Chains A and B, each alone.
Chain A
Amino acid sequence: MALDFLQVREKVKAIGENAALRERQRQNLREEARRLLDDNAQEVERLREKIELAARSYDPTLRCALPVQEPLNAAVPLPELPPIATIIAADGSQINPDRNAPVDYCLINVGAIQMVHGLPDPPAITLKSDLFYDEEMFTDAGTITEGMLALMRDLRERTMLAELAEQARPPVITFTDGPMELWGAKDGDMAGGFQKSLEEYQTALERLCEMHVVTAGYVDKPAANLVVRMLEIGCKLTEDELVDVKHRFPLRGVTDYDLYRNVLKSGERSAVFAIQSKSAGNYRGSLALHFFYLNVGRPGHPWLARVEIPRWVADNPLMLEYLHAALVHQTRIMGSRPYPYILHRAHEAAVVSFEDKEQVNQMIAMELRRRGVPVGEQSQKQAVKELQGRTSFSI
């Protein structure tokens, strides 16, 4: 038995006993959040100043939405897609370093799909597979880690978009899965690697900006509370309470998803917000990160995505329209599961399966043996893990 189900069951019972009460409380908070959104819809300037004050004076790590220009409760209807538009999506996956495996290496695989909306041509697929072995796995701080590999993968996705966009027929709309912000340890051993990757990432973004390419990060089923946090600070806390902003969450439990799922109709997007965060300083000027929510669901079945965009897209109404229309069009291709078709295809192209990994293992081992180089062995730990599972027997 892998779990003590008796212990788990006790906890599940306790969860069930409180569920109805908790749901009622949360529903009240959701309604309050929606009321605050409507009542303060035009208070863009005041809210921005208050949040900037809170971040500047009391919590430099504050992460929330920052109103820009549109009313907070804006619901922008679905615009038209241009008759012809190039849409490119990139996604990546990796084989992490594995010290338990006979051969230690790592690999990044990035796939991109390019389709031209308005033409019947099949999309073009681009793949780039980079294998890292031996010396290539050493860094200034030791050896390459899973986190660093993920960072390199994210960087390569955006770089591939920039390379493909250069040759593409305008207007060009590009996106990746997940937030646009590059994630990785900013302190400690990885700090140097992160800084270098960040600079290359900024360069890729600048290239996209110079080419007037629309770019975005698509976050499916977002769980963040960026706008709710903005309402908490801007509308619930008094100026005096801002001192304690780090510990005050009057709308805790309410997410942006709760806030917008009944505000936005099918195909509509929310107002565009800037992102207030400690790392926002990494993306300045035209690269400054913004976002909006988009209802890609059907009437009666709302489904929200958060779409992260750089400032050059946020400031350009036509680019914003193209992106809005392209994303809704892409999600509708998938019928009852609204997710951009092109992102799913990029994932299909990039994903490294267990069988792929085994094949690369064998390729490296065979090549080493052919050249008389000894090949390592699988760790005993891994070998016993792969033994056939325990079988029960009856008396």
Chain B
Amino acid sequence: MTAIEIGRLLRAGTAGFVVGCRVNQLDSPSFGALASVPLGDGYKIYGLIYDIRIDDDGLVRQLVTADGVDESVIADNRINRNVPVEISLLTIGYQQGGRIYHLLPPRPPLSLDVIYLCQQDELCQFTAAGRFGYFRHILRARDLPVGELIAAHIRQAHQAHCAAGKKDWISSATQEIITLLRDDYVTLMAVMGALGDAVVDL
């Protein structure tokens, strides 16, 4: 399967990075999706999408005051104009020498590095490696909507694992979350509530 490019790196730190993309690239990335930045020599950084931000500008603010907006004007603003779309990712691990680590990477990616959306096999590979060590990074990010992020991620990962015939992955993941949040009842309830909504139809 061809890797889907979702944009290029705008800025980065050890714990996270921000990607810029065109509006017409915005179909693929979704909240909670796993993405990777291959950096050569088998070194690859993984991140979880936690925010997709579409900024306005003076013209867009002006256009919304009109009674209606022509389709060609919408297309002009989405395709021709430099509408800034930013995707923020939380760093949750890396790969080096063929091995996946659920640790923060030795160094962040660099400006204009290309970011790809992880396909189902890679999602399974990353989430099945180790013992859910990457959950630490998500649960530590108190400024993010942790419950919603975990729920969206588990839903996507569960679908990938089911397709690979591993239906019990979700039980292990949920058990791990309960263990990690055993002393934080409020967060645990928020995460479990979101998880319940996310997987109810699966």
Q: A residues bordering B, Cβ < 8 Å?
A: 113, 115-117, 119-123, 125, 332-337, 341, 344-345, 348
Contact = CB atoms under 8 A, between A and B. Distances in A.
- Which secondary structure dominates where chain A touches chain B? mixed
Interface string B56-74: 0001001111110111110
A332 B71 contact: no
Contacts of A337: 62, 65
Contacts of A120: 70-72, 75
Interface stretch (B76-84, B87-95, B98-106): B76-84
Residue among A119, A123, A333 with most chain B CB within 10 A? A333
What are the 6 closest A-B residue pairs judged by CB atoms, nearest first?
A: A335-B65, A120-B71, A122-B75, A335-B66, A336-B65, A122-B79
A113 B80 CA distance: 10
A168 to B, nearest CB: 15
Contacts of A334: 62-63, 65-66
A309 B59 CA distance: 28
26 contacts: A113-B76, A115-B72, A115-B76, A116-B72, A121-B72, A122-B76, A123-B72, A123-B80, A125-B80, A332-B67, A333-B63, A333-B66, A333-B70, A334-B62, A334-B63, A334-B66, A335-B63, A335-B64, A336-B62, A337-B65, A341-B63, A341-B73, A344-B59, A345-B80, A348-B59, A348-B81
A220 to B, nearest CB: 14
Nearest to A338: B66
A125 B64 CA distance: 23
A333 B76 contact: no
A342 B62 CA distance: 14
Contacts of B75: 120-123
A386 B101 CA distance: 51
Contact of A123 (B59, B65, B69, B76): B76
Contacts of A122: 72, 75-76, 78-80
A126 to B, nearest CB: 12
A96 B14 CA distance: 45
Given A333-B70, A348-B81, 18 more contacts: A113-B76, A117-B72, A120-B70, A120-B72, A122-B75, A122-B78, A122-B80, A333-B69, A334-B65, A335-B65, A335-B67, A336-B65, A337-B65, A341-B63, A341-B73, A344-B59, A345-B76, A345-B80
A335 B80 contact: no
Nearest to B79: A122
A74 B67 CA distance: 28
Contacts of B79: 122
Nearest to A119: B72
Nearest to A122: B75
A117 B81 CA distance: 19
A46 to B, nearest CB: 44
B114 to A, nearest CB: 24
Contacts of A116: 72
B40 to A, nearest CB: 29
Contacts of B65: 334-337
Contacts of B76: 113, 115, 122-123, 345
A334 to B, nearest CB: 6
Contacts of A344: 59
A125 B62 CA distance: 21
Given A122-B80, A123-B80, A348-B81, A335 B72 contact: no
A344 B76 CA distance: 12
A335 B62 CA distance: 6
B176 to A, nearest CB: 47
B66 to A, nearest CB: 4
A144 B70 CA distance: 43
Nearest to A87: B72
A332 B66 contact: yes
A351 to B, nearest CB: 13
Contacts of A117: 72
A333 B80 contact: no
A335 B63 CA distance: 6
A80 to B, nearest CB: 16
Contacts of B62: 334-337
A113 B72 CA distance: 12
A90 to B, nearest CB: 16
Nearest to A335: B65
A119 B75 CA distance: 11
Contacts of A113: 76
A338 to B, nearest CB: 10
Interface string B101-120: 00000000000000000000
Contacts of B67: 332, 335
